[in-house]
Structure 1
Amino acid sequence: MRANLARHGRRLLVCQARTAPSCAVYATPARRRSIAPRPVSYTNFERTFLSGLFQKPPREVRQPEYEPGWLQIMVWRSHMLDNVRPPPRRELFELWKKLMQSKFATGMPLNSTQTLQCRRLLEYLAVVPDKKQDCKMLTLADLTIARQVLLQNEPIERTQHHLDFAKALYTVWLSGDYTKTPKAAEQQWIHLVKAMCLYGGSREALQMLYEKWEQPEYAVYLNQDVHLVETVARGLAREGCEAELVELVEYAENHNVPYDLKIQAVMVEFFAERDRVTETKHWFSKPLSGSIPRAPTYRTVAAFAMRNNLQEWATSIFRELGESQPRKIHWNVLLEGILITGKSLAEVDIVMSHMVDRKGEISPDTSTINGLLRVASTQRNEVLGEDILALAAKRGLAPNGETHLILLGLRLGTSNLVGAREAYNQVRHMRPWTNETKPHLFAEFRKMVNEYLVALAAQKQPDFKLISSMLEAVEEDRMRLEPSTVAALCLRFLENDQHFDVMDILSIYSFLYSESEREVIQTAFVSFCLDPSTSTNRAWGAYQLLHQYFQDTSFERRVELMNAFFQRKRPDMASHVFGHMRAHRNKSFHPKMETYITCLEGIARYPDQDGLDMVHNMLKMDTTLQPSTKLYTALMLAYASCGQPLIALDYWQQITQSREGPSYATLEAIFWTLEKKTGGHTQAREIWDRMERMDLEIPPSVYNAYIGAIAGSGNEKEVRGLIMKMASVVGSEPDAMTLGIAYNSLPGQPLQKGFQEWAKGRYPDIWAELMKVGRRMDEYSLCQFKIERVMKA
């Protein structure tokens, strides 16, 4: 113990004695710390058997969750890409049924990635195999359930993959030998048209409609229960195809399809949303073949009139509606219109007392109140919402589950999270979507839950206990969280170091998303890692989760993350990111020549011997790359930085013997390497003499590196001469970088002191500029200017 203490004490004294006086002011003084007396510790005897018996078990990592059959379908696809024997056809048929039955039962739509792979699987199963193999073929039930999932489940994404899948289903049905029921061909054509309109192919569906318009067997579906004209018109409106939409409606009128309530609703909504006053008035006032417009159309007109200062026009419309003694659903929207157009709730109360239809007096009910509350929610007017609730209480109308659902939206719109919590609890208790007539309320509730979770995550001090309880309820209700919601929650969990919660939420939801939806979460994780305010420890934890759950993270983002860890001065972490790219099973994610060079340049700037060995070993095993001067230069820089200049010189020899030869960056690198090698000035002069004989145009950066190589061997007087004749060699005077490189390279305090006195007298302005950079002491207690000397290959 005494010898060890003496050894460390001597090392401390030697370091203090070698400290340069000119640099002592830049050294951080050691702070005096009061050493508190160590408390007396008493030995605490424990029964280790019992303590281990009652110890809380470690938390288990939740396994990723996939929809039935989906994981096996992805495995099948990977086998096909790798030219590996796929699973038996009977097994693939079962996987198809499992996935489609699960989608049909849960109401979850096919995302774009699932649609792409299901189309490929459909085309694979539709091919007639060899007679010697299993000849099981797709049945009509297999096609029907897939079509039902495509048409009946409300889509979240509308992509070309969905359109291709719908066309593939139609093609397989046409080419198969299925039971031909009456009008089967027409029915399958109708399904295709609906799918095209639902997923963004309305223009193509319109052409299909025109082609069949004159055929009697198809014309009957244009304006009956199927009403294909409205279906195509709604699709065109959704896609913003104004010219085609107007043309379709005019064409329909000229070909015995009247302008009715359904088409009016599409046209008025399309132009009202765009605040097109003339067109909206035209399509609303256009004569109808039937009764008065739909209630939602009146609601659209009221909001449109309020935005465009057309209250008088809307008031006359609603007055005419009230005088016609309409049904109760129209009276409800009339009351909503009064509020939307800026009238007071007192006027609503007066009109509410005079509602009559052709059968007699009409009394308001809870649905009436809910309609008024939706107006307050849209306007984000919490005071109006409270007044409406008071009006309901005065009339003896009790709120129902839908009322609390609307209140939840109102509270979220006004950032009243306390009131939102109460409304949320009421909605979950009453569950209004269980009513057979209102299953659509579940989708509305799902949207609000996502908004609520995002709002909770955005708080300065989130209530993580409430968030966790809500996530449990979301899982219990089998509710889908949006990718943006998952991203927001994961970031807050990461900021709070709750990695297990991040893993849980990613295990449940990340594998349910499509490729484009997964990119939303990836972007959030990458931004978190790249944010300078994020600690390195948390950035590394986020990257590990990203690597674990998102193997499809793009190559460009991986390179960006690698560079970010180099900037954090963690070459070990950056090397691991590089290693993950090299180990990826997809060859498109493997490092390219530029990636190797970038990584080696990073190691050259922030030395890491273990990382260099790993990257170099991977380079040796990479048969896809042909070494180049730039790659050898990067290796030279990396090895020189890691204290192995002799190995770096081996690459200089390979460069000089190659057909490509050295570049200016290589020359700068070799001089930088010789600066770090004992006696490197001799070889540096030889290289310089060769350059002079070749009459090369020398850039200042190469000349500065040569000065550093000469200074590295202690030739201080020769360095002075090189600096003074710099203008005649490179055509520019020395700058602060030149003096800083020379000073930093000199191996000793006396040499540095002498150079400082000379430079300060010879180049006072440049030296003053250099002094602004600041100095520090290196591991050898030598003064070093804090110049940024970035070496590139």
Structure 2
Amino acid sequence: MRSQLTRNAHRRLLAGGPGAPPCPASIFSAYNARTRCLAASTPSLILTKPSRRTFFGVFKKPPRELKAPDVPPGYETLLQFRSLEVENARPPEREGLAAGFKEFFNHMKKHGEIPKRGRRVNVPGSINSTQAFLAVRLLRHLLTTGDGGDSFTFLDLKVILEIAVRQPSGKADNHLELVRLVYGEVERRIDHMRALGLGEEEIKQSIGIPQKDQHMFFAYLITALTRFGASQEAVERMSDYQKNLPKSLADGTYTENDWKIILKANGMWMLVLRGLANEGLEEELLQLFGKLVKENGVKYLAAIHEILTTFYAERDQVEETKKWFSKPLYAGAINSETYMAVVRFALRNNEQKWLESVMEGVVNSEPTKQVWDVVLQWAVLAKGKGVEDIKEMFKIMQSQKTDDPNKKLEPDGDTINCLISAAAELNNPYLAERFAMLGTELRLPPTIQTMIIQLDYRLDAGDMSGAAEVYDKLQKVVQGDEDVPVVNKYLRALCAASQPPLEKIISVTADLEHRHITLEPETTKSLCEVFLRFDQQFEVIDTLSLHTVSYSLEERAVVRQAMMDYITNRKISTARVWDCYQLLKQFFPETSTEERVQLMDSFFDRKRPDMACYIFGHMRGHGNPAQRPTSDIYVKCFEGIGRYPDAESLRMVHNMLKMDTTLEMNTRLYNGLMLAYAACGDPIDALGFWRDITNSREGPSYNSLAIVMWACELAPRGEDTAREIWKKMVRMDLEIPKVVFDGYLGALAASGRAQEEVKKLIGGMEKGLGLGYGVGVETLGITFNAIPTLEGKNTFMEWAKMEHPEVWAELEKTGRRETIDGPKYNIARRFEA
């Protein structure tokens, strides 16, 4: 277990208390915020105690070092530019911005791999939606300032396109915009060269990319359009592109390069068909297929067969699926992906009889090894075959004739993996284990994929010891990142245990850290929850540092919400949630004002107005104007101080209001100030805000009247002001709410000189005043509590018991407490500004 510091030392490390300077404002400067905040706060830890040289000090562990974020090179340039853009500040020199931009994308190309279909993890080399957004903002600036896009060669633009078209793990909201921006720059340059009179050969030489790769610019555009939800635009683009394809010469011959371009175009049409299918555009899909058959002579090949059959199979359209599946191919054989889609379709729609006839035909047609794997999965999923039955099917497979008489079809590791997967899909871990043993029996050593599948189904079965065994074996042989999804699942399962094994969790995270793997947001969330639960603050810091900087805003929100839930959990001590808030403030500067207000309210509810007001101060000091407090948030803060008074916090927030040039004073702000100052024992200043209200154009509200009556109750000779206000209300024939009337009674009673008048007013509530309401518990309770002397309280109590026995009995149920001013009933008075 790594060494830990005490919580007090940890607090000093994080900021030295709530008064530390706030983090930078930009919602995109999480990395810079974390770096500067920790850099500024670390010396406070070192200087808390003078160092002493002792004999036993030799054996002390060295201080725990914080881990630096694993930030891709050049990414800080994108963050810095957006931060300055948000603050309307002057950006750095273009040369530095362009260099950082290219460094980022070259790094992603160097360390990236094209993602496989269906992966749901952060793919190395792909960029998330936030990174794409930052790239769009910076690239647009670079293309529209100075010398335009001269900072980028055609090769640079090709690298950007290559990265931008890769499917991210989360949303791809800004990827298509980035691709369009880059492709637009490519077209602009080529058009400019044509306008200068350059021939096509000269243009090709100027591009500086081998001729066979020049069509890739357009291919990247089509890939992005079909991958990111704009396949209909891809149809239009391809139609225009096809018009410029080489036409048949008089003798009907094409050059070798002509054929390459035409074949590439057909491949891009396949992308468009698949894109339309993925977007669920049935009419457009069929229309385009018909057009390609008529105009391009496209045949019903296996790739198109898969697209159309899978489209209807995934939507459980029985007759259409059978129609397109049964339609004869022009050439080749049905691929294994199509067969697997049909198997799942038939099982969902109770079409086993039809499926069985299909599979019998497949077996009799001498299928390939990949198709045999599908047949074996069908036998397990649909027919319930076990190990012995599968062995018999192996014999049939091995007896099949092949093109090479010296070779025969044999089950291999992929076959065993397919069988294990089928058993796991049936939620039958026992059968899965038997298939794994079958592989051993056939001397087929488990592959990495075998271990991944085993780890997955053992986790589903709750077999944590078995999962740990497989994980340990897997880490000894894994080379790529194919195990990342299931290892994330393993980590979440460890965190979800009733007694999470911290040492094991930290060991697994260390393995992934060594491999430079970014965890999934849900995994980071689970880790933070466990580490917070067990006071492992440094583990929280390391987890956030290493992973959240690479997340999109949507992914960061997952982790941020977990910390929000922790902070607002009333079952957790205030000291611990404050530590968590400090981390939230530093690592998530994009936290919205709504969320910060929620946190502020939670600390008011904990009766810690000082901490609540520090949160308000962090909002006020945010560098992004959009995240600074509005007048409503000021009011909410003053209302919180009104519930839980703290004079020092009130002065701090009031000073912020005085310095805030973006706000104009209004009645609600004056109400909040009047309420807070009255609650903090300063009713004289509170009544000063009442005078500001009466002199303002907006004037008082009913909430103003309720608050001022309370301030009059607390102020020396406040009954004089209360009488003036009351007379004005009567003269204006205003409708008087009960809370205002009760407050007026309290103001009169507090003087100790108007008991008879108070009794007369209470007696007239149901008789002559015509107020529309009668005597309530608050009426008697507020009056009793306001009377300053014990003798006066007893006199009023005797009168109230006689005149209003039922109401007084209800008041008695609220309970009484002894104060320095005598007994008082537990009447809750909550004012709103």
Q: 2:379 and 2:479 mapped to 1: Cα distance?
A: 27
User: In terms of mean alpha carbon deviation, does 419-428 or 225-234 score higher?
Assistant: 225-234
The residue aligned with 2:182 is 169
Range moving further from structure 2, 739-748 or 468-477: 739-748
Residues 1:769 and 1:245: Cα distance change in structure 2 (over 3 Å): farther
* SS of residue in 2 equivalent to 1:427: helix
Q: Which moved more, 1:355-364 or 1:177-186?
A: 177-186
* 2:645 alignment partner AA: P
Residue in structure 2 matching 1:724, options 763, 771, 775: 763
Q: Residues 225-260 of structure 1, C-alpha deviation per residue, up to 9 Å, x if partnerless?
A: 861122122222333333322332233233311221
For residue 126 of structure 1, what is the aligned residue in structure 2? 143
Among 150, 154, 157, the residue aligned to 1:143: 157
Q: Offset at 1:389?
A: 2.0
CA distance in 1, matches of 2:780, 2:268: 81
Q: Give the CA deviation at 1:698.
A: 1.0
Deviates more, 1:364-373 or 1:781-790: 781-790
Question: Residue 342 of structure 1 aligns to a residue in which SS?
Answer: coil
- CA deviation after TM superposition for structure 1 residue 321, in Å: 0.9
Moved more, 56-65 or 699-708: 56-65
Identify the range of structure 1 (302-311 vs 712-721) with the bigger mean alpha-carbon deviation: 712-721
Residues in 2 aligned to 1:223 and 1:274: alpha-carbon distance in whole angstroms: 31
Partner of 1:544: 582
What secondary structure is seen at the aligned counterpart in 2 of 1:259?
coil
| Alignment correspondent of 1:510 | 548
Q: Which residue of 2 aligns with 1:352?
A: 394
Change in Cα spacing, 1:771 to 1:258, as seen in structure 2 (3 Å) is farther
3-state SS of 2:174 partner: helix
Q: Out of 262, 272, 286, which is 1:246 matched to? A: 286
Does the CA contact (< 8 Å) of 1:303 and 1:341 recur in 2? Answer: no
Contact 2:674 2:686 (C-alpha < 8 Å) held by counterparts: yes
Instruction: Say whether residues 1:364 and 2:405 are aligned partners.
Output: no
Evaluate the alpha carbon distance shift between residue 661 and residue 363 of structure 1 in structure 2; reply closer, same or farther with a 3 A threshold. closer
Whether contact under 8 Å (1:306, 1:342) holds in the other structure is no
The CA deviation at 1:639 is: 0.4
Distance change in 2, residues 1:48/1:777 (3 Å): farther
Once the two structures are superposed, residues 98-126 of structure 1 have per-residue CA deviations (whole angstroms, 9 ceiling, x without a partner) of 20122112222111121122123223333
Q: What is the deviation of 1:704?
A: 0.6
Decide whether the 8 Å contact of 2:650 with 2:676 is kept in 1.
yes
Cα–Cα, structure 1 residues 662 and 82, in superposed 2: closer, same or farther, change >3 Å? closer
Aligned with 1:649 (options 687, 707, 711):
687
Structure 1 segment 437-448 matched on structure 2, within 5 A: 442-443=481-482, 445-448=483-486
Q: Report the AA paired with residue 169 of structure 1.
A: V
Provide the C-alpha distance between the structure 2 equivalents of 1:333 and 1:189, rounded to a whole number of angstroms. 36
Q: Per the alignment, do residues 135 and 592 of structure 1 end up closer, same or farther by CA in structure 2, a change over 3 Å counting?
A: closer
Matches within 5 A, 1:667-686: 667-686=705-724
Give the whole-Å Cα distance in 2 for the aligned partners of 1:766 and 1:251.
Answer: 85
Q: Deviations over 1:280-330 (max 9, x none)?
A: 212211221222211122122112212222112111111111111122222
Aligned counterpart, 1:193: 222
Counterpart CA distance in 1 for 2:579 and 2:86 is: 32
Aligned residue identity for 1:774 = G
TM-score in terms of structure 2 length: 0.84
Higher RCO (CA-CA < 8 Å; seq separation 6+): 2
Q: 1:525·1:546 contact (CA, 8 Å) conserved in 2?
A: yes
Match of 1:156 in 2: 169
Asked whether the equivalents of residues 776 and 786 of structure 1 are also in contact (C-alpha less than 8 Å), the reply is yes
- 8 A contact 2:313–2:341 mirrored in 1: yes
TM-score (ref. length: structure 1):
0.88
Task: Look up the equivalent residue of 2:229 and give its one-letter code.
Answer: G
**Equivalent residue number for residue 594 of structure 1:** 632
* Displacement after TM superposition at 1:140 (Å): 1.7
Unmatched tracts of structure 1, length 5 or more: 1-46, 434-441
Alignment of structure 1 residues 513-662 onto 2, 5 Å: 513-662=551-700
Partner SS, residue 49 of structure 1: coil
Pick from 420, 427, 437 the counterpart of residue 380 of structure 1.
427
CA distance in 2, matches of 1:372, 1:553: 47
> Cα deviation per residue 1:659-700 (whole Å; 9 max; x = unaligned)?
222221111111100111233223322322232222222111
For residues 729-768 of structure 1, the aligned pairs below 5 Å read 729=769, 730-768=771-809
Q: For structure 1, which segment, 134-143 or 189-198, has the greater mean C-alpha deviation from structure 2 after superposition? A: 134-143
SS at match of 2:319: helix
Between the aligned partners of 1:219 and 1:522, the Cα distance in structure 2 is 54
Per-residue Cα deviation, 1:184-217 (whole angstroms, up to 9, x for no partner)? 7643222210121122222221222233345434
Alignment partners' CA distance in 2, 1:135 and 1:349? 64
Aligned partners of 2:792, 2:283: CA distance in 1, in Å?
82
In 2, the alpha carbon distance for the partners of 1:487 and 1:184 equals 43
Q: Which amino acid aligns with 2:222?
A: V
Cα shift at 1:336? 1.1
Q: Residue type of the partner of 1:354?
A: I
CA contact (8 A) 1:67 1:102 kept: yes
How do 1:186-265 and structure 2 match up within 5 A? 186-217=215-246, 227-255=267-295, 256-265=297-306
Contact 1:73 1:117 in 2 (8 A): yes
How much has 1:83 moved relative to structure 2?
4.8
Q: 2:65 aligns with which of 60, 63, 69?
A: 60
Q: Name the CA shift for 1:353/1:628 in 2 (closer, same or farther; >3 Å).
A: same
Contact 2:817 2:823 in 1 (8 A): yes
Distance in 2 (alpha carbons) for counterparts of 1:662 and 1:135: 60
Shift of 1:81: 4.5
- Give the match's secondary structure for 1:309: coil
Tell me the residue number matched to 1:335. Answer: 376
182 and 58 in structure 1: CA distance in 2 versus 1, 3 angstrom threshold: closer
Aligned-pair CA distance for 1:80: 4.1
State which of 519, 523, 547 in structure 2 corresponds to 1:485: 523
* Counterparts in 2 of 1:239 and 1:525: CA distance versus 1, 3 Å: farther
Distance 1:480 1:260 in 2: 40
Deviation at 1:505, TM superposition (A): 0.6
**Aligned to 2:93, which of 47, 64, 88?**
88
CA displacement, residues 618-645 of structure 1 (integer Å, 9 cap, x when unaligned): 0000111111122111101100100011
Residue type of the partner of 1:164?
Answer: E
Aligned residues: 734
Change (3 A) 1:220 1:276: farther
Check conservation: 2:87, 2:624, Cα contact below 8 A: no
Task: Give the equivalent residue in structure 2 for 1:497.
Answer: 535
Whether the 8 Å CA contact 2:162–2:220 is kept in 1: the answer is no
Q: Is the CA contact (8 Å cut-off) linking 1:68 and 1:98 kept in structure 2?
A: yes
Shift of 1:469: 0.7
Once residues 145 and 686 of structure 2 are traced to their aligned partners in structure 1, the CA distance between those partners, rounded to angstroms, is 62
Answering whether residue 132 of structure 2 is matched by residue 115 of structure 1, we say yes
1:298 and 1:449 map into 2 onto residues whose CA distance is 30
Contact 2:678 2:686 in 1 (8 A): yes
Tell me what 2:102 maps to.
Answer: 97
Q: Does the 8 Å CA contact 2:710/2:746 hold for their aligned counterparts?
A: yes
Equivalent pair of 1:327/1:357 in contact (CA under 8 Å): no
Q: 1:580 deviation in Å? A: 0.5
Q: Deviation of residue 347 (structure 1)?
A: 2.4
**What SS does the aligned partner of 1:343 have?**
coil
1:11 is aligned to none
Q: CA RMSD in A?
A: 2.4
8 Å CA contact 2:492, 2:526 repeated in 1: yes
Paired AA for residue 464 in structure 1:
L
Q: How does 1:437-476 map to 2 (within 5 A)?
A: 442-443=481-482, 445-476=483-514
Query: Corresponding residue for 2:440?
Result: 393
Q: Deviations along 1:340-386, whole A, 9 cap, x unmatched?
A: 21331132221111112324542222221111111122222201102
**DSSP 3-state at the match of 1:354:** helix
